[in-house]
Amino acid sequence: SQQGEEDPQALSIQEGENATMNCSYKTSINNLQWYRQNSGRGLVHLILIRSNEREKHSGRLRVTLDTSKKSSSLLITASRAADTASYFCATDARLTGGGNKLTFGTGTQLKVEL
Amino acid sequence: EPEVTQTPSHQVTQMGQEVILRCVPISNHLYFYWYRQILGQKVEFLVSFYNNEISEKSEIFDDQFSVERPDGSNFTLKIRSTKLEDSAMYFCASREDVPYEQYFGPGTRLTVT
């Protein structure tokens, strides 16, 4: 699989349920970031987890990171119709010039139905 | 809340024409990026820019592409001679030194006909 593969590719749930999305990657990372994209729109930053962190929370979001398995998960609790979007993980690698670049996964399309 | 802005939102151009996509990053940010997303595909890194020079570029970013920060606030991506396969959504992003979160603009949809 390629760097930053999400699964499932698509997920359909009822409002109020929890949604879990997984991301696997191949190379060493400095951190991993999750983004949301509504159809045809920009990327909204959700949360960043550093390589030395195992779990992070932000509101209804919970992210875990397992660097030994090179995987991460994003849990959205008590989902709402407004959470309907595509969710991407992006691995962050430091570059020789001192900057960083994000390598995005294929994304999970989440649909939350009323 | 500060945000990255991009203009235009949609640009239609003919093959072989030059286009300039414009971005205004968040004002205190130091690192600037361009990414693109071809319809239905992954978001791909194009180039990163720091301290008035390119710090990294991808294989996609060939001689047809250039970036500039002409006036300390704008950050531009120029494609000298557009090809059909350049049709994509182009995103600008910026970040502070630390933390490392990159903040993205709403994108410019480029259509090459």
**Looking at residues B92-99, what average pLDDT do you find?**
88
Question: What is the model's pLDDT at position B45?
Answer: 95
DSSP string, chain B: ----EEE-SEEEE-TT--EEEEEE--TT--EEEEEEE-TTS-EEEEEEEETTEEEEE-TT--TTEEEE--SSS-EEEEESS--GGG-EEEEEEEE-SSS---EE---EEEEE-
Q: Are B58 and B47 in contact (CB under 8 A)?
A: yes
Residue type for position A13? I
Q: Which residue has the tokens 């820019």?
A: B49
How many separate domains does chain A show? Answer: 1
- The CATH homologous superfamily of the domain defined by B5-112: Immunoglobulins (2.60.40.10)
What percentage of chain A has pLDDT greater than the value 70?
93
- A75 lies in which domain range? 5-113
What residues of chain A, 77 to 106, have a C-beta less than 8 Å from chain B? 88, 90, 92, 95-106
Q: Are A111 and A9 in contact (CB under 8 A)?
A: no
Find the CATH number of the domain harbouring A102: 2.60.40.10
Q: What is the pLDDT of residues A58-83, one digit of tens each?
A: 999 999 999 999 999 999 999 999 99
H/E element holding A37? strand A31-37
Mean pLDDT over A39-49 rounds to 90
Taking contacts as CB-CB distances below 8 angstroms, the residues of chain A near B101 are: 33, 45, 48
User: With an 8 Å Cβ cutoff, is A48 touching chain B?
Assistant: yes
Partner-chain residue, chosen from B31, B106, B109, that has the shortest CB–CB distance to A99: B31
| B45, B101, B106: residue with CB nearest A45 | B101
